[in-house]
Amino acid sequence: MEKQILKGNINHSVCRWCYEDISLDELCLAAKEIGLKSVELLHPHEWEVAFKHGLECALSFGSPLGIPEGFNNPAHHARLWNDYEELLPKAAEAGIKNVICFSGERKGISDEKGLDNCAIGLEPVVKLAEKYQVNLVMELLNSKVDHPDYQCDHTAWGVALCDKVGSENFKLLYDIYHMQIMEGDVIATIQKYHPYIAHYHTGGVPGRNEVDDTQELNYPAIMKAIVASGYKGYVGQEFIPRGEGPLASLKAGVMICDV
């Protein structure tokens, strides 16, 4: 694969899980050739693989509890504290700046109560994140197609939680695919709420496939809005490749988003 020279306005990354049929070493080699700076959503034992290829991990996995069992349920707070108490110092030592977290599924918990529960559970974890200068980043996911009953499913709810937590070390992962499904109005949302966003993910709608003209989002325009907001973090490609080959699809997606 020919080495690409990218424009430098976007820090490009790629999510590991979309390329599970390719070894992590092979994905890292391809990422370097394409011009990416990061391979993300790695587990701690995988960080060093990215590092040895001269790449960063822009966003690490967090608690093994994952998406369904998050901070909105007090029953999970002790386990989440234990998981992040172990992980955050390791992330800081490795130079990783962002670690993912989730609200959890509603399971009958109202949005108002979910906000309160999340803020209570996050308080000690965020203090630890502040101590180690790591960001805890909650992902916005759709509850319409992929993650039924997930609570942090609208930008406004995530922003309200950020305000309630009140720390620069707690922000949002704005997943463009998920938020197009839930609320649309992507560019205006980015313009309004960009100070709350620590990370972005891509994905074509519908189907989370390539970010090309087979889907309904105008990714060059979205990327230009992200750049115009002054954002200096990473944009992670998180589409499921279905074209001529997964790495060719990755390269094409990066080129579309390299504005």
Q: Which residues pair with 15 in a beta bridge?
A: 40
Query: Exactly one of 69, 105, 139, 210 is catalytic; which is it?
Result: 139
Which residue in this structure is represented by tokens 């989002």? 217
2 pLDDT higher than 80 = no
Closest CA to 203 of 237, 234, 171: 237
**What number of residues does the chain have?**
259
Contacts of residue 52, Cβ cutoff 8 Å, sequence gap at least 6: none
3 pLDDT higher than 90 = no
Pair of tokens at residue 35: 């011009």
Amino acid, res. 37:
K
Task: Answer yes or no: 238 catalytic.
Answer: yes
Q: Set out the domains of the chain in order of their start, with CATH numbers.
A: 11-241 (3.20.20.150)
Cβ count near 44 (within 10 Å) = 15
Whether residue 236 contacts residue 199, with contact meaning beta carbons closer than 8 Å, is answered with yes
Cβ count near 122 (within 10 Å) = 26
244 pLDDT higher than 80 = no
Residue 243: its pLDDT value, please?
A: 72
Task: Answer yes or no: 210 catalytic.
Answer: no
Rg (CA), the chain: 17
Query: What are the pLDDT digits (tens) for 168-197?
Result: 999 999 999 999 999 999 999 999 999 999
